[in-house]
């Protein structure tokens, strides 16, 4: 195709769409293939070994599509498997943690940063390590929010829903009490809950979106929407994903969704 690059991007499910949205804003790639491992979501409750194995299969599949670069649009894989992926494959592979950690360190005024993530991301301790490498004195408080992903995958995203409101209060109250002024949405599903997280914390807390932070590092290109070839693959039901795509992706696209057998890669 044109002079631009092709991109493979993956997540365990629909969460990576929040990263894709931000990547699309950059008009940089002229071919993008998104893979959502919907048959095996959630990744966040799995062991590191399983997450590494799944991540390798996801990359192997995308490489069959001859992509030039890969973005791991999943906080869990970025936290637990990025180095293994980078040493196992020669294609450039980027995760979502570094840019978000930099953005959080820049945003905080009182040095207190909250991290929300899946169990596997919080267990990895990666944000605290990265942030303390940027500035030792940063106070990093992390909270695993295992119920957020199933809420999002089931379309429960508004504060009017009492289950959502109570879950939110349960996970976020300790960070409010700790006085954090910056909170990293450390799972790519969480921007889909952004309005209610923002409402809970109020204006004095800055929310960091991993996809937004990563997209800020991608050059601004000139690929128009009509020049872009965008396709989606999933490992489970195509119709369900198509429905989610319409609701969750800000950019309006009407591409085909294909089901693949990720176990074969
Ligand atoms: N969206 C993924 C993340 O950023 C994972 C959600 C899950 O599969 O648990 O961590």
Q: How far is the CA of 233 from the centre of ligand 1 (A)?
A: 17
CA distance 49 to 36: 19
Q: Could you tell me if residue 257 is inside a domain?
A: yes
* pTM for the whole structure: 0.95
Q: Could you tell me if residue 230 is inside a domain?
A: yes
Give backbone dihedrals phi and psi of 73, rounded to 5 degrees, phi first: -90, 40
Residues 77 and 135 in one domain: no
Q: Determine the pLDDT at residue 159.
A: 74
Q: Which atom of ligand 1 is nearest to the CA of 96?
A: 4
Q: How far is the CA of 42 from the centre of ligand 1 (A)?
A: 6
Residues 78 and 167 in one domain: no
Question: Which candidate in 145, 168, 187, 233 is catalytic?
Answer: 187
Which residue has 């990025």 as its token pair?
Answer: 82
Q: Determine the pLDDT at residue 248.
A: 85
The DSSP 8-state label assigned to residue 181 in this structure reads: S
- Ligand 1 pocket test: pick from 48, 50, 72, 76 the residue with the most ligand atoms within 8 Å of its Cβ: 76
Domain count, the chain: 2
Contacts (Cβ under 8 Å, ≥6 apart) of 172: 116, 143, 197, 200, 201
Residues 86 and 120 in one domain: no
Q: Which atom of ligand 1 is nearest to the CA of 43?
A: 8
Q: Determine the pLDDT at residue 3.
A: 64
User: CB count, 10 Å around CB of 239?
Assistant: 9
Q: pLDDT (tens digit, 0 to 9) for every residue of the chain, 265 residues total?
A: 446 799 999 999 999 999 999 999 999 999 999 999 999 999 999 999 999 999 999 999 999 999 999 999 999 999 999 999 999 999 999 999 999 999 999 999 999 999 999 999 999 999 999 999 999 899 999 999 999 998 887 778 777 888 988 999 999 999 999 999 999 999 999 999 999 899 999 999 999 999 999 999 999 999 998 899 999 999 999 998 998 888 888 887 777 899 999 999 9
Q: Could you tell me if residue 197 is inside a domain?
A: yes
Which residue has 């294909």 as its token pair?
Answer: 258
Nearest residue (by CA) to ligand 1, atom 8, is: 42
Catalytic status, residue 187: yes
Residues 44 and 140 in one domain: no
Residues 185 and 102 in one domain: yes
Residues 202 and 222 in one domain: no
Domain boundary, last residue among 169, 195, 210: 210
Q: Could you tell me if residue 20 is inside a domain?
A: yes
Q: Could you tell me if residue 1 is inside a domain?
A: no
> Which residues line the pocket of ligand 1, CB cutoff 6 A?
11-13, 15, 41-44, 74-76, 118, 121, 149, 187-189
Q: Which atom of ligand 1 is nearest to the CA of 76?
A: 10
Residues 116 and 169 in one domain: yes
User: CB count, 10 Å around CB of 1?
Assistant: 12
Residues 110 and 85 in one domain: no
Q: Could you tell me if residue 150 is inside a domain?
A: yes
Q: Determine the pLDDT at residue 2.
A: 46
Nearest to 218 by CA among 99, 130, 107: 99
Residue span of the structural domain in which 131 resides? 97-210
Q: How far is the CA of 235 from the centre of ligand 1 (A)?
A: 15
Which residue has 């945003």 as its token pair?
Answer: 107
**CATH number of the domain encompassing residue 223:** 3.40.50.1860
Residues 91 and 219 in one domain: yes
Q: How far is the CA of 153 from the centre of ligand 1 (A)?
A: 11
Distances (CA, A) of 35 to 144, 180, 224, 239: 25, 34, 22, 15
Q: Is residue 31 packed enough to be buried (19+ CB in 10 Å), middle (13-18) or exposed (0-12)?
A: buried
Residues 181 and 234 in one domain: no
CA distance 251 to 32: 14
Catalytic status, residue 74: yes
Residues 44 and 122 in one domain: no
Residues 118 and 144 in one domain: yes
């Amino acid at each position: 195709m044109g002079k631009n690059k092709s991109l493979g991007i993956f997540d365990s499910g629909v969460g990576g769409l929040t990263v894709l949205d931000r990547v699309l804003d950059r008009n940089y790639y002229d071919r993008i293939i998104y893979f959502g491992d919907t048959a095996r979501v959630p990744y966040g409750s799995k062991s590191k070994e399983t997450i590494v194995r799944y991540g390798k299969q996801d990359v192997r599949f995308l490489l069959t599509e001859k992509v030039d670069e890969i973005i791991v649009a999943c906080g869990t894989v970025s936290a637990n498997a990025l180095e293994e992926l980078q040493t196992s494959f020669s294609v450039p592979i980027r995760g979502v943690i570094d840019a978000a950690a930099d953005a959080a360190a820049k945003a905080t005024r009182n040095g207190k940063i909250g991290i929300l993530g899946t169990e596997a991301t919080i267990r990895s301790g990666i944000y605290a390590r990265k942030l303390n490498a940027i500035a030792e004195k940063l106070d990093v408080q992390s909270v695993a929010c295992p119920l957020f992903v199933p809420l999002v995958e089931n379309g429960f995203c508004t504060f009017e829903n009492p289950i959502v409101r109570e879950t939110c209060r349960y996970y976020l109250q300790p960070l409010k009490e700790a006085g954090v002024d910056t909170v990293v949405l450390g799972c790519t599903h969480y921007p889909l809950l952004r309005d209610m997280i923002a409402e809970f914390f109020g204006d004095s807390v800055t929310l960091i979106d991993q996809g937004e932070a990563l997209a800020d590092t991608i050059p601004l290109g000139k690929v128009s929407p009509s020049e872009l070839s965008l396709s989606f693959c999933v490992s489970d039901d195509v119709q369900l994903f198509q429905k989610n795509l319409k609701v969750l992706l800000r950019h309006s696209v009407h591409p085909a969704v294909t089901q693949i057998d990720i176990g074969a890669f």
